[in-house]
Amino acid sequence: MIPVRGMDGAQVAVLGLGRSGLATAASLQAGGAQALCWDDSPEGRAAAEARGHEIRDLTKPGAMAGIDRLVVSPGIPHLYPAPHPVIRAAMAAGVPVDNDIGLFFRSLAGSEWARFEQPPKVVAVTGSNGKSTTTALIHHCLEAAGREAQLAGNIGRGVLDIDPPGDGGIVVLELSSYQTDLARALTPDVAVFTNLSPDHLDRHGGMGGYFAAKRRLFAEGGPDRAVIGIDEAEGLFLAGQLAEAPSDDRVIRVSVTEKLDGAGWNVFARKGFLAEYRKGRQAGSIDLRGIRGLPGRHNHQNACSAYAALRALGLAPREIEAGFLSFEGLPHRSQIIAEARGVTYVNDSKATNVDSAAQALQAFPRIRWIAGGLGKEGGIATLAPHLGAVVKAYLIGHSARDFALQLPGTEHEISETMEQAVAQAMAEAQEGDTVLLAPAAASFDQYPNFEKRGEDFIRIVRGRLGLGAEA
């Protein structure tokens, strides 16, 4: 646990009592503050009470009297589409609003750091797609190279729940736009921006607000090194804002669409090969084509971002390559779950929007595509340019018929359920095919979350192959 510093004797309200909220309350108390907890759900309040935390109804008039700070969990809106009433009351009363990420950055460094030969460092990864894989890949490579590393934030443990890092230790964080938007302190040593595509726009008041939330990690934090994916205009703009000159190697530019060999520090991937250039000369390379845990161009982008961050931390190319080779990927993200009779089965249940589904659909040569669920605004019409490898689509869930209307040139079948879709795809699959779950939709019509949807796909596939439920 990281005790919260600088709040000894303070009264701090905690709104939202999920994983991060409970860890925040414990860390506040460990640092000498009084945590006053509230959750809109009785279950959340009961979980906090079971851990000995004090419950206070923050929705009552005057509840902010005597409160020194309000700490908010990431799922609770503070501005768009409308502030939560408790947050509005705090702002009206002049109470500072923060989150666990802000508390983490203000509390991480301790007096014991003066005795360390190498101060601990923090790597923070944000972006629209691929940030979980990039974060996990950085952490995996650090551990494979024998470095002390912890994984936290939007993946792994809550940031305040980790152990205080030791001499030379590295904390690797995945940060969502919800987390970067509200944190009052953001000071990573290395910050990574993977890419940007429309997401959470209602929460940020549009694309500009969404990008502004991501940009705070760099503008507010001033990292020693910034790894920036420049394949979108926003990333190119951000890299230009941070660099003082073309040769400024505090910014590492990343691309999977073009060769980068300019005067600065660049990492790019083309035709399955990753290359690092510094001052116009090649400094390292990795053949990504045979790395099982990183299939497809989207994973090559993740590999480039992770490689750049790891090089900024001092790892050699050969150490990074060894880590890549032993990386098995994350569950529900281009996860190969079985191979039988020449057919590969891939679980990409995390592909809940058209952008992430498009990446998955470009990663394999012959695809039997399982898609559908609770469709998002705009449907899947924009996937048309990416369907060249799709042999047939098997559509499930609430949006199956809507999706069918948007696939005029692609053979498809309305399967309704995962069980039926998998059975049909397996019966028709030929050697060389990939049966791919990449729904391009939310899961909430049939499953509580994308993880449960992916687990059901794994269970059905492996059960039919006689392999057992575990991938």
Helices and strands, number each (H, E), in the chain: 15, 20
- Give the CA angle between residues 13, 16, 17 to the nearest 5°: 100
Residues in the chain: 471
Q: Is 323 annotated as a binding residue?
A: no
Domain 11-98 has CATH 3.40.50.720: yes
Residue with token string 């024998």: 146
Q: Is 302 annotated as a binding residue?
A: no
In this structure, which topology does domain 108-325 adopt according to CATH? UDP-N-acetylmuramoyl-L-alanine:D-glutamate ligase (3.40.1190)
pLDDT grade for 222, boundaries at 50, 70 and 90? confident
For residue 470, pLDDT beyond 70: no
For residue 355, pLDDT beyond 90: no
DSSP 3-state of 20: helix
* pLDDT tens per residue, range 357-387: 998 999 899 999 999 999 988 899 999 999 9
Residue 274 CB neighbour total at 10 angstroms: 26
* pLDDT tens per residue, range 133-157: 999 999 999 999 999 999 999 888 8
120 Rama sector, left if φ>0, alpha if ψ -120 to 50, beta otherwise? beta
In this structure, which topology does domain 335-464 adopt according to CATH? Protein-Tyrosine Phosphatase; Chain A (3.90.190)
Residues 297-332 as b/e (b if ≥16 CB within 10 A, e otherwise) read bbbbbbbbbbbbbbbbbebebebbbebbeebebbbb
pLDDT grade for 10, boundaries at 50, 70 and 90? very high
Question: Which pLDDT belongs to residue 220?
Answer: 87
For residue 471, pLDDT beyond 70: no
Query: Rounded to whole angstroms, what are the CA distances from 469 to 337, 443, 450, 451, 454?
Result: 10, 20, 17, 14, 12
pLDDT grade for 193, boundaries at 50, 70 and 90? very high
Question: Which pLDDT belongs to residue 345?
Answer: 96
CATH topology of 108-325 equal to that of 335-464?
Answer: no
Q: Which residues pair with 245 in a beta bridge?
A: none
Distance CA 415, CA 369 (A): 12
pLDDT grade for 251, boundaries at 50, 70 and 90? very high
Distance CA 359, CA 451 (A): 19
Distance CA 194, CA 176 (A): 12
Question: Which pLDDT belongs to residue 199?
Answer: 77
- DSSP code of 376? P
Q: Is 131 annotated as a binding residue?
A: yes
Question: Which pLDDT belongs to residue 469?
Answer: 58
pLDDT > 70: percent of the chain: 99
How close are the terminal C-alpha atoms of the chain, in Å?
32
Distance CA 402, CA 393 (A): 13
Residue 381 CB neighbour total at 10 angstroms: 11
The residues spanned by each domain of the chain are 11-98, 108-325, 335-464
Are 72 and 182 within 8 A, CB to CB? yes
195 is written with which tokens?
């890419």
Question: Which pLDDT belongs to residue 249?
Answer: 95
71 CB contacts (<8 Å, ≥6 apart)? 12, 13, 14, 15, 21, 24, 28, 97, 98, 99, 100, 103
DSSP 3-state of 226: strand
Question: Which pLDDT belongs to residue 129?
Answer: 87
